């Protein structure tokens, strides 16, 4: 089993890694939110992360339409904002489109206790938890799960699975990241664990984060 990698920076990127494709997630927002510091904090880090990733890096964002019930923010609102800041993403996806991949990942968890815990959560709440959707999102970008949920934005070509991932995230999501890595490490996709890195930044987040 490959060792779990959960880095605080991207300084560990090697020359060999930089020559392979890297998917950089730098923006994650809910459709019931307004764009604020918790989202824009990642923009300051994007240039350095992309430079470290080499010329083969592609940017991607996640728009969460799965958890909110009131939708005030459209994908075009997000694209226009990022375009105004010269960082329109190459690709994007709706979190709600990941449920089928999350179900596939759940079925492929090899740790029975962990699998039952997630099955129990879903049965009680009637929804997939953030950590399972996050793990499915990473495996989707790596090509282990169906990539058709990823849509073009600034890119001309359809999404091609990346060899490595870098995720720029607020520190509040550190525990969810750890849980997502735990899921991957205890699944049929454990070999992908070493291909995922995170860079965290400090920012106040008003939204409560469910650490599951």
pLDDT at position 179 is 97
Is 97 a member of any domain? yes
Rounded to an integer, what distance in angstroms lies between the CA atom of residue 137 and that of residue 77? Answer: 22
Count of alpha carbons within 13 Å of 122, Cβ hemisphere only?
17
| 85 domain-assigned | yes
pLDDT of residue 6: 43
CB-based contacts of 35, cutoff 8 Å, min separation 6: 29, 73, 77, 78, 81
Q: What is the pLDDT of residues 1-59, one digit of tens each?
A: 333 344 333 334 444 544 579 999 999 999 999 898 888 889 989 988 988 877 789 99
Cα separation, 177 vs 179, whole angstroms:
5
Residue length, the chain?
212
Q: Which domain holds residue 185?
A: 15-201
Identify whether 115 is part of a domain: yes
Say how far apart CA 101 and CA 34 lie, in whole Å: 28
Task: Look over the chain and give the mean of its residue pLDDT values, rounded to a whole number.
Answer: 88
d(CA 61, CA 67): 16
Does residue 3 lie in a domain region? Answer: no
CATH no. for residue 140?
3.40.50.620
In a domain, 206, yes or no: no
Q: Does 149 reside within a domain? A: yes
Q: Is 209 within a domain? A: no
* Mean pLDDT, residues 103-113 taken together: 98
Q: Coil, helix or strand for 111?
A: coil
How many domains would you assign to the chain?
A: 1
């Amino acid at each position: 089993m490959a060792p779990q990698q959960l880095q605080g920076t991207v300084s560990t990127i090697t020359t060999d890694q930089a020559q392979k494709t890297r998917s950089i997630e730098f923006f994650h927002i809910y459709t019931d939110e307004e764009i604020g510091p918790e989202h824009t904090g990642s923009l300051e880090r994007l240039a350095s992360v992309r430079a470290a990733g080499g010329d083969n890096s592609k940017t991607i964002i996640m728009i969460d339409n799965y958890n909110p019930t009131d939708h005030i923010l459209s994908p075009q609102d997000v694209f226009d904002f990022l375009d105004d800041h010269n960082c329109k993403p190459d690709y994007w996806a709706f979190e709600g489109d990941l449920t089928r991949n999350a179900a596939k990942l759940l079925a492929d968890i090899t740790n029975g206790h962990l699998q039952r815990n997630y099955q129990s959560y879903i049965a009680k709440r009637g929804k997939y938890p953030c950590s399972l959707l996050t793990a499915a999102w990473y495996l989707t970008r790596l090509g282990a799960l169906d990539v058709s949920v990823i849509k073009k934005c600034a890119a001309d070509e359809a999404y091609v699975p990346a060899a490595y991932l870098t995720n720029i995230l607020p520190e509040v999501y550190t525990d969810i990241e750890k849980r997502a890595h735990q899921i991957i490490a205890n699944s049929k996709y454990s070999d992908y664990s070493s291909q995922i890195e995170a860079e965290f930044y400090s920012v106040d987040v008003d939204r409560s984060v469910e650490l599951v």
